[in-house]
């Protein structure tokens, strides 16, 4: 299915698409050289918003959980990319231990795990699932919609305590698909003989969105200079705001000030580009996931005047964790629509390669709201359909592959930012 798009690609983005296409050899070479210096995360998905005048990543996920939403015709790409990744980390790997979420955000999560297992098996690995729940002693069976069964087995350390595996299964590589929202479980500490991907500090117990977007600022600055664009076209303003307690009502002045600052910056840019839309910001938990702890703010007084229910929603996120640090991010309208529902693209990468994507669609949400919420649906991005490689001669804004290429470029900028972010936040940087 090719989604029906109602995107109003206009002025600045058309020009951006044109520049991106013309500069393809330079852009790809630039990425190639950056990947000589930086190691990409094993996998990554990037939520993006396209407002017609701006295309920006708004969230970079290092534990992507929607592989089942990619078109099946994209699978060979994913297999090939994961071959390249595995060869780098552990060329003689035979066994891969995949550690899924213990409490997934949504029911279709296990289809994602089944899909990932299929990809890694095809890569040349025996794949088994480990249960991060330390109280688990039995094998847990998960029955999928098609009747297939997944077995999630209790983790165990080897007799000498140096290795992590399952009963009769000693992996070379351990792949986390669990975002470690609350804490880093002891059983994952001190793994030195095996490759643990992504590293522990990529989990939300330690990771912060503001670190990511600070790295993204850096990456975009370099990239925008190369292709000669205003960095703002692909980068949302953001600010960090700590020590906020919605329940106690403390720290709200600081938050309001940040909101005002970002709104003022957006207003200035909108004026520069003649954009008539109303500026807004998104306030998000700096370490939140599953689309929780997120609100749209059009006026700074809104953060002061929350209802008690709203305050609670902003404070308590996944797994009951309390939040006091927030990121205030420029809101980017999404002017893409599928069947009159608001849609945003999500791009998936393995290693340094784009392997597919989908549209997240929500029929009850507005163009300035978070779509990662119950009721969302998924439509595969038509990457592999039609002529899957950009057509330089097409009129800007008219060819789907050209738009997807542009999405892939911006998503890879976020991927590169994640790579820098992980380097900078590494608690044991000597291993680099």
Which stretch in 27-35, 44-52, 153-161, 187-195 sits in contact with a second copy by CB under 8 A? 27-35
Strands 43-50 and 294-297, by their bridges, are unpaired
The answer to the question of residue 416 lying near a second copy (CB under 8 A) is: no
x/- map, 331-360, a second copy, by CB under 8 A: ----------------------x-------
Task: Give the number of other CB atoms < 10 A from CB of residue 210.
Answer: 21
Q: Out of 221, 268, 304, 387, name the contact with a second copy by CB under 8 A.
A: 387
The answer to the question of residue 126 lying near a second copy (CB under 8 A) is: yes
Q: Rounded to whole angstroms, how far apart are CA atoms 327 and 264?
A: 16
- Based on the number of CB atoms within 10 Å of its own CB, is 25 exposed (0-12), middle (13-18) or buried (19 or more)? exposed
Query: Which residue, 213 or 383, has its beta carbon nearer to a second copy?
Result: 383
The answer to the question of residue 80 lying near a second copy (CB under 8 A) is: yes
Question: Mind giving me the DSSP string for 31-96?
Answer: HHHHHHHSPPPSEEEEEEEE-SS-EEEEEEESS---GGGS-GGGHHHHHHHHHHHHHHH-TT--EE
Q: Rounded to whole angstroms, how far apart are CA atoms 317 and 303?
A: 17
Query: Which residue, 32 or 304, has its beta carbon nearer to a second copy?
Result: 32
Which stretch in 193-201, 218-226, 362-370, 387-395 sits in contact with a second copy by CB under 8 A? 387-395
The answer to the question of residue 129 lying near a second copy (CB under 8 A) is: no
55 alpha carbon, distance to own chain's centre: 15
x/- map, 84-123, a second copy, by CB under 8 A: x-xx---xxxx-----------------------xx-xxx
Query: Which residue, 264 or 389, has its beta carbon nearer to a second copy?
Result: 389
The answer to the question of residue 430 lying near a second copy (CB under 8 A) is: no
> Which of 312, 318, 311 has its CA nearest to residue 291?
318
Q: For residue 130, what are the β-bridge partners?
A: 153
Footprint on this chain of a second copy (rule: CB under 8 A): 24-33, 35-36, 72-73, 75-77, 79-81, 83-84, 86-87, 91-94, 118-119, 121-126, 353, 383-390
């Amino acid at each position: 299915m090719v989604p029906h798009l109602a995107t109003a690609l206009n002025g600045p983005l058309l020009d951006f698409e044109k520049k991106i296409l013309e500069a393809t050899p330079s852009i790809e070479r630039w990425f190639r050289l950056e990947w000589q210096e930086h190691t990409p995360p094993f996998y990554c998905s990037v939520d993006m918003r396209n407002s017609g005048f701006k295309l920006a990543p708004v969230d970079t996920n290092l534990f992507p959980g929607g592989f089942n939403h990619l078109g099946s015709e994209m699978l060979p790409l994913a297999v090939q990319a994961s071959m390249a990744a595995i060869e780098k980390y552990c060329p003689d790997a035979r066994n891969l231990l995949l550690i899924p979420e213990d409490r997934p955000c949504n029911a279709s999560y296990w289809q994602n795990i089944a899909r990932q297992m299929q990809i890694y098996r095809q890569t040349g690995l025996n794949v088994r699932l480990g249960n991060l729940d330390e109280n688990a002693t039995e094998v847990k069976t998960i029955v999928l919609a098609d009747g297939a069964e997944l077995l999630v087995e209790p983790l165990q350390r080897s007799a000498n305590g140096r290795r992590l595996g399952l009963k009769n299964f000693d992996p070379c590589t351990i792949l986390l698909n669990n975002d470690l929202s609350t804490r880093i479980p002891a059983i994952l500490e001190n793994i030195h003989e095996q490759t643990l991907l992504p590293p522990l500090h990529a989990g939300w117990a330690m990771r912060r969105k503001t670190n990511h977007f600070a790295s993204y600022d850096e990456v975009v600055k370099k990239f925008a200079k190369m292709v000669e664009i205003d960095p703002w076209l692909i980068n949302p303003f953001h600010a960090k705001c700590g020590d906020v307690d919605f329940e106690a009502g403390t720290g709200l002045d600081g938050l309001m000030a940040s909101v005002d600052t970002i709104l003022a910056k957006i207003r200035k840019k909108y004026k520069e580009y003649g954009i008539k839309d109303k500026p807004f910001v998104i306030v998000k938990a700096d370490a939140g996931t599953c689309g929780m702890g997120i609100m749209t703010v059009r006026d700074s007084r809104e953060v002061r005047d929350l209802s008690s229910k709203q305050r609670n929603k902003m404070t308590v996120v996944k797994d009951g964790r309390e939040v006091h640090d927030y990121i205030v991010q420029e809101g980017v309208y999404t002017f893409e629509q599928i069947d009159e529902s608001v849609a945003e693209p999500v791009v998936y990468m393995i290693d340094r390669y784009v392997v597919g994507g989908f549209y997240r669609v929500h029929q009850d949400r507005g163009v300035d709201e978070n779509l990662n919420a119950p009721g969302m649906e998924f439509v595969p991005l038509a990457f592999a359909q039609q002529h899957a490689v950009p057509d330089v001669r097409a009129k800007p804004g008219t060819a789907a592959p050209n738009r997807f290429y542009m999405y892939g470029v911006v998503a890879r900028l976020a991927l590169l930012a994640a790579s820098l972010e992980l380097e900078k936040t590494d608690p044991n940087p000597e291993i680099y």
